[in-house]
Amino acid sequence: CRCCCYMLLLLLLFSSFLLILSVVSFSGFIICRSGFTLREYFLLEYGTSLIGEDGLWQVAAKYFAACPPFGSHYIAQLLETEEPDTETKALQLLSVCDQYQLTNQMNTVQRVMGAKKFAQLRPVSSVYWLMLAQDVTRLSQVADRLIDQCVTEESTVEDLDGVAEHLGDQKFVFSEKLSFLNKYCELQQYRKNKDYSRVAELTLQLFSSKLAPKRLWVHLLLDTLPLLERSEPVFNAEQTFQLMECLETVLLSHRHEEFMANAALDKKTGSTQLSKLSMALTANLAKAFLLCNE
């Protein structure tokens, strides 16, 4: 009878041991032990114990990587717990994501960095990270805010130059707003270099291609005023007619007051400025015709 009791006790202990080996939970991670070796169990357990220790998350990832196929699941969970609080750490996280082909985690890191950089008032870096993530929605929001800033604050032009330089000649097929932003940077650069013929061409291109949001048309039109007032016409007759059509669109629009407000103009000042623009366009048209007939 005593032997039977011992045998029963041994069976109970053995059953408990098998249960422990089948499912083990620690530090918030659940491990399925089906098919695991004892070596893999200890590697995963030790790797998990390193999570939360400063600077040891990369070491933990290497321990997890030694335990396929479940190790990749652990690495994915590990990356989700690590905050990309610096650019250096973000690049380290991306390196691990690339090494183990964790696309979702890679996009998450890039989106988080894009949001952080924009919150830190670093629009160039923000656009760069969101471009990597191809996060069209957030990129559109950032581009919208940058566009609004670029037409009201001269200090942001340098930031926009940085965007253009950083992104180069890419065709922003997934973001028309970013395309406009890039073209506006070029426009400002031509203006800075006093390349007025290119300024005229690109200004009209922004209108005709519909890249320029209509809420910014008043600002873009008023930017042409110094060029229209030059003694030598910068805009030829055809180009002047196109600017007149754009001005007429603004004046006849039911959103006229909204457009004026977006250009930081009150009703009285805006009317004065647009009247001045209208007269400058008429005078420029006359100069262009005279020059054409010479």
Residues 212-253: tens digit of each pLDDT:
888 888 889 999 999 999 888 899 999 999 999 999 998 888
Examine the pLDDT at 35 and tell me if it is beyond 80: no
The pLDDT value recorded for residue 51 is 83
Rg of the chain over Cα atoms, rounded to whole angstroms, equals 32
Least confident of 5-19, 29-43, 81-95, 190-204: 5-19
What are all long-range contacts of 36-45, with beta carbons under 8 Å and residues at least 24 apart? 36/67, 36/70, 40/66, 40/67, 40/70, 43/67, 44/70, 44/71, 44/74
The pLDDT of 17-31, averaged and rounded, is: 44
Q: State pTM to two decimals.
A: 0.65
| Mean per-residue pLDDT of the chain | 78
Place of tokens 């100069």: 287
The strand pairing partners of 30, in sequence order, are: 25
